[in-house]
Amino acid sequence: MKQAVSSIRYDVTVRRDVRVPMRDGITLSADLYLPETERKVPAIVVRTPYGKATQTMDATGRYFAAGGYGVACMDVRGRGDSDGEFVPYFNEGADGFDAIEWIAGQPWCDGSVGTMGGSYLARIQWLAALEQPPHLKAMISTVSPSDPFVEWPTGVPTPHHICWLYMTSGRVMQEVGVIDWESVYQHLPLVSMDEKTGKILPRWREELEHPRLDDWWRRISYQERFHELDLPVLHISGWYDDEQVGTLLNFSGMSTRARGERGRKNQKLVMGPWPHAINRSTRLGDLDFGPQSLIDLNRLQRRWFDHWLKGEENGIMAEAPVRIFIMQRNEWRDEAGWPLPGTRFTPFYLHSGGRANSRFGDGRLSMELPGEEGARVPDRYRSDPADPVPFITEMTSAQIGGPDDYSAVERRDDVLVYTTESLEEELEVTGPVRMRLFASTTARDTDFMVKLLDVWPGGFAQRLTDGMVRGRFRKGMDREELLEPGTVYEYDIDCWNTSHVFRKGHRIRVEVSSSAFPKYDRNLHTGGELGKEKEGVVAEQTVYHDPNRPSAIVLPVIPKNR
């Protein structure tokens, strides 16, 4: 049985707008939540661009302070009541170091400091940790964004990113509901898309000047530097978090590459059936994952800090390092690592008679290697950037996609659809999903998008996960190499991760297309300078599935009796 957190509850004193000095002389504003006790206590630092004086931040501060922590909820540089200019991510490493060390030196603090927070608040914890603040003892990283180009391997920011930049473009949150985002995203060229919001957004334009992973981006990257860290980290995300891939990369990276055994042996991962706003509802889209899908998140985080900041032996590190929610089975399961031990990475191959266009075509998916019929009749479709394949999503940046029904989208001829027969028994797929795609194009540059779906007996085509590759970056985001029209290339496409049981009678489906708008910008197929062009051309695409070019999606199948 899991041990309870300490039953001691302290009264809480709040000090508003406490000025925290940075090394360059500016001050950041923090609200301090302090337990009323004569003893020195450990501290938790939460740094945010979204406003420290919110109900959520206040509840967080009061909860942990009542449990015996000093909590600093702080506006980052240039936001809220803090001085300076907000430049996303670029000042957060040094500012995070200074904030942690200033808090550690306060007379009420015992010198042990942890950090926590989600999304932007998570990524800046990593940047601060790389500065090696000596009093930082542990982190809780929730729905953390990845390094540049990991989530959007396109060389340019995603259309939804301009919504986030607009929202954070002043000292206080800007109301995104007043903007017609669908119209904004349609604008070309990308470099002047900000004008459609009514504002010039310098950061948007600056990012478009760096379409490769160069030194400008590496200043705010962290995922290639886990070997510099030796910290215990609790990683939390959801299968439908639109930045999900970062959390799993971070857990795996720290577990295998952290500098010392303290870091490598003390990582924990929790993955629920949640979107970016984790643990708030049992429902997501048309699905209800049941009351067991919600957890006592405060208690989990409190136990983590009680162990690492207070030294309490509460049993949390004796528990399994990985806890995941298996969708469709709708239950939690403890695991020994990620990917799961015993996973069988199983290729499911594309087949057709050359007419896999739309869900009404002849595309098939099976574990059998393709035969010679695939060599005679590969699949073809036209990709027109003026009429991109839609990605189902809300228009703001709060959440991009979910377990949506793609059956209507699959009516299009520029979507290739490959589906298994109805399953005779259930199949669990838990882990990273990758696509090995053999394809050619008439263009100098193009995209290939891949989506994994569960087709229910009634026809509901539930999106599980997806991924994409931009042709010019097929060898890495640090270089551009245009395509040779007509040449067949093998593309390795990261489709992120899932944990899902395909029920008996359901079917596994894969979609292949060349756009997913507005999740990603439209590839104009010209091979020209990214973000600067207005006109595109139609690309003729060919997907191969024959013995020499066996296109396949590789699924992490979990055996029943592993």
Alpha-carbon separation of residue 523 from 446, 448, 527 (angstroms): 6, 10, 9
Concatenated DSSP letters of 399-416:
----S-B-TTGGGSTTSE
Which amino acid belongs to residue 8?
I
List, edge to edge, every strand of the sheet that includes 12-21: 12-21, 27-35, 70-75, 41-48, 109-118, 136-142, 233-238, 267-272, 322-326, 331-335
119 is catalytic: yes
What the block records as the tokens of 153 is 């391997």
Q: What is the largest CA-CA distance in the chain?
A: 81
241 is catalytic: yes
From the list 283, 282, 300, 301, the residue with the least C-alpha distance to 292 is 282
Is the bond into 189 cis (omega within 30 degrees of 0)? yes
169 is catalytic: no
From the list 135, 276, 351, 500, the catalytic residue is 276
Separation between Cα atoms, residue 21 and residue 83, nearest integer Å: 10
Separation between Cα atoms, residue 353 and residue 345, nearest integer Å: 26
From the list 82, 112, 119, 293, the catalytic residue is 119
Q: Is 143 exposed, middle or buried (0-12, 13-18, 19+ CB in 10 A)?
A: buried
Which element (helix H / strand E) includes 66?
helix 55-66
Strand 27-35 vs strand 70-75: parallel, antiparallel, or unpaired?
A: antiparallel
Separation between Cα atoms, residue 552 and residue 343, nearest integer Å: 17
Report helix angle 92-104 to 120-129, nearest 10.
80
**Cα–chain center distance at 365:** 28
What the block records as the tokens of 80 is 């809220």
From the list 75, 95, 147, 241, the catalytic residue is 241
Catalytic residue numbers?
A: 119, 241, 276
